[in-house]
Amino acid sequence: MFVSEALKTNSLNHLEIGGCDAVELVEKYGTPLYVMDEGLIRKNCRIYKNSMDKYYNGNGMVLYASKAFSAMAIYKIVDSEGLGIDVVSGGELYTAYKAGFPMDKVYFHGNNKTIAEIELAIDKDVRRIVVDNLEELKNIDRIAGEKGKKACISFRIKPGIDAHTHDFVQTGQIDSKFGVALENGEALDIIKFASTLKNVSVVGVHCHIGSQIFDLAPFELAAKVMLEFISQIKNETGIVIEELNLGGGFGIKYIPAHDPIEYDSYIESVSKVVKGICEDKRIKLPFIVMEPGRSIVASAGITLYKVGAVKEIKNVRTYVSVDGGMADNPRYALYQSPYDAVLANRLNAPKENVITIAGKCCESGDILIKDINFPKVTAGDIIAVMATGAYNYSMSSNYNRIPRPPVVLVHEGKSRLIVKGEDYEDIIRNDIIPEDLG
Ligand SMILES: Cc1ncc(COP(=O)(O)O)c(C=O)c1O
Ligand SMILES: N[C@@H](CCCC[NH3+])C(=O)O
């Protein structure tokens, strides 16, 4: 019945997550409310960690790509499960640092790192800076030199792979703002240049082909293309690349029609390909890094909303508006991403009609789910949109000056607040009225 294994029906016919009744959570914390199941997050971390140990003798590291959901508590959980992290901004890096995350397990990404971000990464001695472009490389070398340090770097490469996903989340093709292309020797040239610099040490190459991918083939192809590149680098320059980072992007079940692959098979299949090619080409097995984000947290999350206006437009559509929307989940508005939902306070109610669940923002595109079979609802009912753990809170905004909802972590019947909800004072906190405006 549910797209996520985190969810159950309890004896009151209410939705249960992490042993907590969704209706009680709403009574305690209000709506909208992000709820994250700690047990499922931990389980997903373990699947990845164990498969790296099992299929690649632990000669690698799994990073949680924290852009999917970044808050201090998640860094604590991920650390305790033995994973590293990928951060993509000074803000994520700072959050992880303040949570006490070990900096020697942090990979710093980004296609336009600012000087201040590079300084922060070098000051904190992150394990790896993943270099996106030449300008950045020069800045890293200069800043590391000024600080008397040597930065360990890898390079974001565009392997030229079409990952069959939404255009906006596809990143490995040539026409992409991320990284340097293999074409025309661009990637080889930047690596050669880096090897002449004093304050950087070239350790690895990286690629990330896209997101919400349901297929093993693009990852196997990426591994092949990248190993050929590693072999070319060695043959033409003598530089030995020790680390191969294949990014994230593994698909999850948002709606019943989605059929994701078992998470551990990504590492299993990539390990096989890497071992085979390395044997053929007689190159040393690289240290492998994988960076799943969505697949660790998405299914662990739900968002609870209260129904407000119900508008039945005869022979057209029934709009059910809830007290959240694109400000807490912009994914339909951005990518037309599909979601599934249930009536959390009456799970056994028959699905009698087709509704469109709309948000409260002043925007026609503020839709959460278009045309879903759903029970009849009235104001005050509680709708749970499922699999909202990734790229919802982390992509939320204050559009229309709507305060961000709180995030609650649930486990074995207990709920704890991990991000406070914002109020109107938070909304105006940084506003300034210049004196001359009176
Ligand atoms: C460099 C990099 N690594 C990892 C990820 C995580 O992707 P996903 O959340 O789809 O696993 C992303 C985001 O797409 C990314 O840009
Ligand atoms: N934010 C996107 C994924 C992009 C990931 C970062 N490269 C989503 O919600 O699906």
Could you report the per-residue pLDDT of 340-397, keeping only the tens digit for each? 999 999 999 999 999 999 999 999 999 999 999 999 999 999 999 999 999 999 999 9
Can 7-36+300-428 and 109-292 be said to share one CATH topology?
no
pLDDT-derived band of residue 63, with 50, 70 and 90 as boundaries?
Answer: very high
d(CA 433, CA 345): 44
Are residues 292 and 245 in contact, defined by beta-carbon separation less than 8 angstroms? no
Residues with CB under 6 A from ligand 2: 67, 169, 171, 211-212, 331, 391, 395
d(CA 87, CA 67): 7
N residues, the chain: 438
- Is 254 known to sit in a ligand binding site? no
Ligand 2 centroid from CA 168, angstroms: 8
When pLDDT is averaged across residues 402-412 and rounded to a whole number, the result is 98
CATH code 3.90.480.20 for 109-292: no
Q: Is the CB of 79 under 6 A from ligand 1?
A: no
247 Cα nearest atom in ligand 1: 3
207 classed as catalytic: no
Structure tokens at 343: 């009536």
pLDDT for 171 equals 60
pLDDT for 163 equals 66
- Across all residues in the chain, what is the average pLDDT? 96
Ligand nearest the Cα of residue 208 is 1
d(CA 310, CA 312): 7
Q: Is the CB of 68 under 6 A from ligand 1?
A: yes
pLDDT-derived band of residue 422, with 50, 70 and 90 as boundaries?
Answer: very high
Supply the residue whose CA is at minimum distance from atom 16 of ligand 1. Answer: 208
Amino acid residing at 189: D
Task: Tell me the pLDDT tens digit for each residue of 19-60.
Answer: 999 999 999 999 999 999 999 999 999 999 999 999 999 999
- Is 293 known to sit in a ligand binding site? yes
Supply the residue whose CA is at minimum distance from atom 7 of ligand 2. Answer: 169
170 has a pLDDT exceeding 60: no
7-36+300-428, CATH topology level: Lyase, Ornithine Decarboxylase; Chain A, domain 1 (2.40.37)
Q: Which strand ranges, in their side-by-side order, compose the sheet holding 15-17?
A: 7-9, 15-17, 20-21
162 has a pLDDT exceeding 80: no
Non-local (6+) Cβ contacts of 37 within 8 A are: 6, 17, 18, 300, 301, 410, 411
ipTM: 0.98
Q: Is the CB of 119 under 6 A from ligand 1?
A: no
Spell out the domain ranges in the chain. Answer: 7-36+300-428, 109-292
pLDDT for 169 equals 55
- Is 335 known to sit in a ligand binding site? yes
d(CA 321, CA 329): 14
Task: Tell me the pLDDT tens digit for each residue of 212-262.
Answer: 999 999 999 999 999 999 999 999 999 999 999 999 999 999 999 999 999
Q: DSSP state, 406? A: P
Single out the catalytic residue among 45, 152, 278, 362.
Answer: 362
168 has a pLDDT exceeding 90: no
User: Looking at per-residue confidence, does 281 or 322 come out higher?
Assistant: 322
Non-local (6+) Cβ contacts of 244 within 8 A are: 204, 205, 206, 223, 226, 227, 230, 274, 286, 287, 288, 289
Ligand 1 centroid from CA 249, angstroms: 5
Ligand 1 centroid from CA 88, angstroms: 10
